[in-house]
Structures are given as C-alpha cells and as structure tokens.
Amino acid sequence: MNCYEHTLIIKQDKLENHSKTIINKYENLINKNSGKVLKTEEWGLRNLSHLIKNNKKGFYFHIKFEGTGKTIDELEKAENIDQTLIRFLTVRVKKHDLEKEYFEKRES
C-alpha cells in the first residue's frame, strides 16, 4: 500500500457538526476501499488566497492514510459530486510524519 495525504476544504457556511459528518463519510469511504486512515487533522477556518466558487474562507481538513489506486479513484469520484466541498487534493508521499501538527491550536 502507498502513503497518501489528502487535504479538503469545506464551505464556510456549513456548521461545525456538519463538517464532522462529512469527514466521517470520507474516512469510512477510505476504509471501505482497502485503505487505512492513520490520522485526521482539523486545520480550522482559514482564509483562501483568492475567491473560489464565491467563497473567501473554508474549513480545512487533512487526512493521512494508506491505500491503493482504487482507494483514490473512489475517494475522488465521491468528492467530485459533493457540493459542500470547495477544493480537494491528494498527494502521494514516501512516508508519513504522524508527530508533527502543522496547524496546532494555540492557547491564548
């Protein structure tokens, strides 16, 4: 199995609990299609660098998983028809860094 990192952006107007449902949907899809989710990071509401589909902000989520080509095909096929997503990207990596949190929540 290959190692992948998958980042997706959900529309800002979706409620927090609805975004959790969407993430669970895609984690289950990965697991059903011979994949294994290793880690899911919630990066939170962030500004987009430019206007995308009339959105200025979006909820970012990052999933690290192992899978096959079939896993990626099924994941991206489901995401192409999902109207709640702004963008998504899957990148193959050599190995996962499960220790580092790139967008840690800071306490004030």
pLDDT at 16 over 50: yes
pLDDT at 18: 83
Containing 100, the helix (H) or strand (E) segment is none
Task: Output 14 or 48, whichever has higher pLDDT.
Answer: 48
Q: What pLDDT does 20 receive?
A: 84
pLDDT in tens, 59-82: 999 999 999 989 999 999 999 999
**pLDDT(17) > 80:** no
Amino acid at 56: K
Q: Is the pLDDT of residue 89 over 60?
A: yes
- List pLDDT tens digits, range 21-33: 889 999 999 999 9
Given a cut of 50, is residue 108 above it in pLDDT? Answer: no
DSSP states of 17-58 as a string?
HHHHHHHHHHHHHHHHTT-EEEEEEEEEEEEEEEEETTEEEE
